[in-house]
Amino acid sequence: MTYKDVRSRSLTRPVALVAAVSMLLLGAGTATAALAAPVASVVPAAAHSAPPLANLDHLNFLLDTVPLAEVPGHTTYQLDSKPTAQAPWTYADKKPDGSYGRVGGGSLDPATGYWSQGAYNADDIARTAVVYLRHWQQTGDAGSREHAFETLRSLTYLQTASGPNAGNVILWQQADGTLTPSATPKELPDPSDSAESYWVARTVWALGEGYAAFKDADPDFAAFLQDRLHLSLDSLNRQSLGKYGTFDVADGVQVPAWLIAGGADASAEAVLGLSAYARVAPGDNLAATALTRLAEGVAGMSSGSVNQWPYGAMLPWNKSQTLWHAWGGMAPAAVATAADVLGRGDLLTAAIKDAAQFTPQLLAAGGPDNAWTPTPGEAQIAYGVDSRLQGLVATAKAAKAPGLLDVAAITAGWYFGANRSGAPAYDPTSGTTVDGIEYDGRVNHNSGAESTIHALLSMLVLDANPALKAKALGIDETVATKGLSVVEAESGAVSGAGSVVTPPSAWTGEANWSKGAYVALGAGGSVSIPVPAADQARNVYPIVNQAVTPAGATRWAAGTTALGSTPNGGAGEQGITDAPGKLFPFSLARTLSAGATSVVGTSDGDAALDALLIQPLVSTVSVTGSAGDSTLYVSAATVSSVRTVVVPKGYKLVQRAYDSSGRLVPTRGDTLTSAGRVTIAAGGFTVATLVRK
């Protein structure tokens, strides 16, 4: 259900680099370099005829038969004649012999056989149903249809069917079918069906896709799923959706008050189900209204721009302006899909910004990290990778933005070895997926339900898009990334009124202090922060813990060049957040020159300075594999950029440049034998390749 800490270390394979790739990495700036072939240009012939990637063997292994008994408030379809259903175990730990053991959540009481949380949970049951539904619809597999039927029956048993909590959902269940309304450790809401939740949102997702799949195949079961979908929508209308059109304040910013559990993350997954449902039941006003309102709320969490953090991402939580995470990060996929279903082109803008502007920057900063808080540094898991992939594919389709599919191929390469460990994260021969890859490349080799589910959702979308699948299969190594980086404020020299502070916790309530410390300055104090020289100009984003009330400003300079200033205070009303003020990366008015090696901040009031985010005006992602050596150039500049690369004898330069919406823009193809020019549109990205003449 959730990511577990890495328990073991992976074996990282040697990285074999051709000279051209090494030279290419120097060419992100003004230097001349050799160019590697990108992902979209060379497709191995075998990839076109490759077998399906989606292997459900491991998910089938996780499934177990669950005995069900009618208890007050809980029943399901045909319970009298079918007193069992199916559900996946939450975790699967890898054993020394290479096999897996199914594990529940929390600690096991050997006397009772009960887990302190449970063996099964509604989150994973709902998403497992979605996997089987999509596999059945895509392949016609009868076994997947049956598994979809049984997991939907299991899920609706966990849904409270009557009483004041009707439509809400109990999260945990023991192996013998006993419900666990209150788990240990305690989770909110408690009891888990006492209010709306992520698992209610995911129930809506599964019920919506379930109705669409069974509408013609089994009308009676579809009618049952429709009734249960309405039950949850009625519950949401009594809770968050009843606040539609109202806004809360979060650190001085208005945020939608009607998101499920306060989250664009949870709401997005409900939107996926409602979109599937609305396609086949367009006359259902209850569902259409919920879909419209939730999609508007999710899109309303769009934040930033090409050169303003978080670079167009849709923030997941209305209680933080400085936290992005990919747990439930289906926002771009959901909004793009809903925009198409509803005919709401205005919603599509948020999905485009997230997919075409934020995701390339995420990849260039080191790959699909699962959170920025606000600095990068989280582990990478299948959930986050899948959410990026789904968003790119859905937005490419809805916005007619083919460039997003090039980014999608690089993203999907994570499963096949283009990740920090250098080893495949997904095994198509077994259907297993690692539970996570840490920032330093360590791998959690367990393969729980959540990782398995989201890897399979990714494989299904690749199987459904053969050209994209072929490109992704041609990528199995990340050669290098050169993008957003962090320099700690406490690494600098403090002068005058100021000191390094280490708070009791890195977590502020809505963000993290980078490396758990910051520099506190008083009026007249300054800090000189060393930064590495570069081969191009850079955007600098000082991360400031902005206080609620105005408190002066900090002026930033590099030598005699003034870069701009950041506010020490003035964040505004705390509102619904869990901490006053916000830890935010502010944009500066001017860029930092390539040769600058220090940045000085001088404050005229009390300031709390965490770190500097340094962003190249043109970032790069270089990958390789059977499709050749590939490079993606990503712009954070306000004007078009040109990079010169060496073109080896016998080759010509081919490039496809896309704007900040992922749409193709014309460039002048330079086919000189010794040099070429790569053009990157302002805020856009370019895929370049060397092709034999």
Predicted confidence (pLDDT) per residue in 461-492, tens digit: 999 999 999 999 999 999 999 999 999 999 99
Q: What number is the average pLDDT over the span 611-622?
A: 98
**Under a CB-based contact definition with an 8 Å cutoff, are residues 541 and 529 in contact?**
no
Structure tokens at 101: 């053991």
User: Would 9 be classed as within a structural domain?
Assistant: no
Residue 49 confidence (pLDDT)? 64
The distance between the two most distant Cα atoms of the chain, rounded to a whole number of Å, is 81
pLDDT of 533 over the 60 cut: yes
CB atoms within 10 A of CB 427: 16
Considering the domain architecture, whether residues 381 and 526 belong to the same structural domain is answered as: no
pLDDT of 7 over the 90 cut: no
Predicted confidence (pLDDT) per residue in 192-227, tens digit: 999 999 999 999 999 999 999 999 999 999 999 999
Q: Could you tell me the CATH number of the domain that includes residue 514?
A: 2.60.120.260
Residue 689 confidence (pLDDT)? 77
Domain region containing 530: 487-616
Q: How far apart are CA 658 and CA 634, in angstroms?
A: 10
User: Would 10 be classed as within a structural domain?
Assistant: no
Q: Could you tell me the CATH number of the domain that includes residue 651?
A: 2.60.40
Q: How far apart are CA 677 and CA 135, in angstroms?
A: 44
Residue 584 confidence (pLDDT)? 99
User: Would 97 be classed as within a structural domain?
Assistant: yes
Residue 669 confidence (pLDDT)? 52
* Helical (H) or strand (E) element with 235: helix 219-238
- Write down the pTM of the prediction: 0.93
Q: In one letter, which amino acid is 416? A: F
End of a domain among 616, 632, 652? 616
End of a domain among 567, 584, 616? 616
Considering the domain architecture, whether residues 649 and 568 belong to the same structural domain is answered as: no
pLDDT of 627 over the 90 cut: no
User: Would 51 be classed as within a structural domain?
Assistant: no
**Under a CB-based contact definition with an 8 Å cutoff, are residues 228 and 159 in contact?**
yes
CB atoms within 10 A of CB 71: 11
Task: pLDDT band for 673, please (50, 70, 90 cuts).
Answer: very low
Predicted confidence (pLDDT) per residue in 570-586, tens digit: 999 999 999 999 999 99
Q: Name the CA dihedral angle for 531, 537, 539, 542, rounded to a multiple of 10 degrees.
A: 20
User: Would 508 be classed as within a structural domain?
Assistant: yes
Least confident residue range of 14-23, 395-404, 528-537:
14-23
Q: What number is the average pLDDT over the span 414-427?
A: 98
Q: What number is the average pLDDT over the span 88-100?
A: 98
Residue 693 confidence (pLDDT)? 80
Q: Which residue has the higher pLDDT, 369 or 13?
A: 369
Residue 565 confidence (pLDDT)? 99
Counted domains in the chain: 3
Q: How far apart are CA 565 and CA 588, in angstroms?
A: 6
Considering the domain architecture, whether residues 112 and 156 belong to the same structural domain is answered as: yes
Q: From residue 593, give the alpha-carbon distance in Å to each of 31, 453, 526.
A: 15, 45, 21
* Helical (H) or strand (E) element with 665: strand 664-665
Considering the domain architecture, whether residues 312 and 334 belong to the same structural domain is answered as: yes
Q: In one letter, which amino acid is 275? A: S
Considering the domain architecture, whether residues 31 and 170 belong to the same structural domain is answered as: no
Considering the domain architecture, whether residues 510 and 642 belong to the same structural domain is answered as: no
Considering the domain architecture, whether residues 217 and 329 belong to the same structural domain is answered as: yes
End of a domain among 594, 616, 638? 616
Helix, strand and coil percent figures for the chain, each rounded to 5: 30, 25, 40
User: What sign results for the dihedral spanned by CA atoms 318, 323, 324, 327?
Assistant: negative
User: Would 52 be classed as within a structural domain?
Assistant: no
User: Would 320 be classed as within a structural domain?
Assistant: yes
Residue 646 confidence (pLDDT)? 82
Predicted confidence (pLDDT) per residue in 60-70, tens digit: 999 999 999 98
Considering the domain architecture, whether residues 439 and 339 belong to the same structural domain is answered as: yes
Considering the domain architecture, whether residues 33 and 115 belong to the same structural domain is answered as: no
Predicted confidence (pLDDT) per residue in 243-272, tens digit: 999 999 999 999 999 999 999 999 999 999
Sequence-distant (6+) residues with CB within 8 A of 223 are none
Q: What is the mean pLDDT of the chain?
A: 92
| pLDDT over 70 percentage in the chain | 92
Considering the domain architecture, whether residues 472 and 495 belong to the same structural domain is answered as: no
Sequence-distant (6+) residues with CB within 8 A of 179 are 71, 74, 158, 170, 172, 173
Residue 24 confidence (pLDDT)? 34
What b/e sequence results for 255-282 when a residue is b if at least 16 CB atoms lie within 10 Å of its CB, and e otherwise? bbbbbbbbbbbbbbbbbbbbbbbbeebe
Q: Rounded to an integer, what is the distance from CA 555 to the centroid of its chain?
A: 34
Task: pLDDT band for 20, please (50, 70, 90 cuts).
Answer: very low
Q: How far apart are CA 435 and CA 416, in angstroms?
A: 14
pLDDT of 402 over the 50 cut: yes
**Under a CB-based contact definition with an 8 Å cutoff, are residues 453 and 433 in contact?**
no
pLDDT of 103 over the 90 cut: yes
Considering the domain architecture, whether residues 299 and 417 belong to the same structural domain is answered as: yes
User: Would 99 be classed as within a structural domain?
Assistant: yes
Residue 666 confidence (pLDDT)? 83
Residue 30 confidence (pLDDT)? 40
Q: Rounded to an integer, what is the distance from CA 21 to the centroid of its chain?
A: 28
Considering the domain architecture, whether residues 165 and 244 belong to the same structural domain is answered as: yes
Q: Could you tell me the CATH number of the domain that includes residue 352?
A: 1.50.10.10
